[in-house]
A = this chain, B = another copy of it.
Amino acid sequence: MNFRTDLALERHELIGKDDTEGVSSHTENKGNVKITRIEIRTPSAAERLSKPQGNYITVEVPSFSSDGEILDSKLHVLSSEIRKMLPDEGTVLVVGLGNISITPDALGPKAASYILATRHISSELAKSVGLTSLRSVAGISPGVLGQTGIETGEIIRGIVDRIKPSCVVTVDALASRNLSRLGSTVQMSDTGISPGSGVGNARKRLDEETLGVKVISIGVPTVVDGATLAHDLIDREKSADYSVLPESEEMMVTPKEIDLLVERASKLVGLAINCALQKGLSPEEIMSLVS
């Protein structure tokens, strides 16, 4: 079987880890968190891996079952990695990609709902409540093309033109080949993203070239994509119901508790972005401000 994957890590496994021409990969363990850094350095490597040139950091955390467990080392490791990719100054615009009404696709909008928006808070007000330095942050969940009639890239460019951020951070649900990675692997990259499936349509792409500012993409796999799967599973009868057959591209494999998995991963990512951005606030303070 051949499952679609959005993870550079899995792409590298698929072509064989020995294939290192133009690709480097380093793994590091911090406690129970595993970090893999992949750099795709050449156009040829980009083609073999079917991923744009650039850096991909994958953080694999143990699964967790409650809010309390978010506040441990995995939040710290994750926010450190995000912070390294952020510019030191300027407004950061966080964009939650995906459709909040479709559970496995809701990770982006849900993570965005945990973002502490501060761009509208004056520094005087921040100081008056004891916050000496508050990084300017804006956040939005623009919806998907089918809901809005507008390419997500057009909406984001319109907003970028007006608020002039130094960086855009996108958050999106991904597909993995591997059930064990659902909800517990976070991929960060500096290569941008194509909302709605990497069809390779340049016009749609959200990256430094199209937006004019740095773009950091953060994603968590929530499903194993069933494109190929469907053909194998369907025990098709020669019946009149053939037309009822759901499009195979829309099938997925996921845990039955997908609602919970998405909720927890969204909260982890949202909090990690806040921690990366607001150095003056502790994780506990951030958690109490956004929940």
Q: Which residues of A contact B (CB under 8 A)?
A: 1, 3, 13, 29, 32, 34, 60, 62-63, 65-69, 101-105, 113, 117-121, 136-143, 145-151, 154-155, 157-163, 177-180, 182, 184, 223-224, 226, 229-230, 232-236, 239-246, 250-260, 284-285, 287-291
Let me know if B245 and A256 touch, CB within 8 A.
no
Please indicate the chain B residues that have their CB under 8 angstroms from the CB of A62 in the complex.
241, 243-244
* A67 near B287: Cβ-Cβ < 8 Å: yes
Which chain B residues lie closer than 8 Å to A3 at the CB level? 233
Residues of B within 8 A of A160 (CB): 158
CB neighbours (8 Å) of A260 from chain B are 101-102
Known contacts A102-B256, A252-B256: A150-B138 contact under CB 8 Å: yes
Distance (whole angstroms) from the CB of A237 to the closest CB of chain B = 8
Nearest B residue (CB) for A66: B288
CB distance from A136 to the nearest CB of B (A): 8
A7 to chain B, nearest CB (A): 12
Q: Name the CB-closest residue of B to A14.
A: B235
Contact of A287 among B66, B146, B245, B289 (CB under 8 A): B66
CA of A290 to CA of B101, assembled, Å: 14
- Do B253 and A257 touch (CB < 8 A)? no
Please give me the 6 A-B residue pairs with the lowest Cβ-Cβ distance, nearest first. A158-B158, A68-B288, A119-B149, A117-B149, A66-B288, A138-B149
Q: How far is A149 from B159 in the complex, measured between Cα atoms in Å? A: 12
Which of B120, B140, B179 makes the CB contact (< 8 A) with A143?
A: B140
Are B118 and A34 in contact, CB atoms less than 8 angstroms apart?
A: no
Do the beta carbons of A253 and B256 come within 8 Å of each other? no
Which residue on B lies nearest to A185, using beta carbons? Answer: B241
CA distance A226 to B253 in the complex (A): 8
How far apart are the CA atoms of A226 and B252 in the complex, in Å?
Answer: 11
Whether B177 contacts A235 by the Cβ 8 Å rule is yes
- Which residues of chain B are near A226, meaning CB under 8 Å? 253
Do B147 and A68 touch (CB < 8 A)? no
B259 x A103 contact (CB < 8 A): yes
Whether the Cβ atoms of A155 and B159 lie closer than 8 Å is yes
Given A103-B103, A234-B178, check contact A148 B154 (CB 8 Å). no
Q: Note all chain B residues with C-beta closer than 8 A to A179.
A: 230, 233-234, 245-246, 251
Q: How far is the CB of A267 from chain B (nearest CB, A)?
A: 10
- Would you give the shortest CB distance from A182 to chain B, in whole angstroms? 7
Q: Which of B121, B149, B177, B178 contacts A137 (CB 8 A)?
A: B149
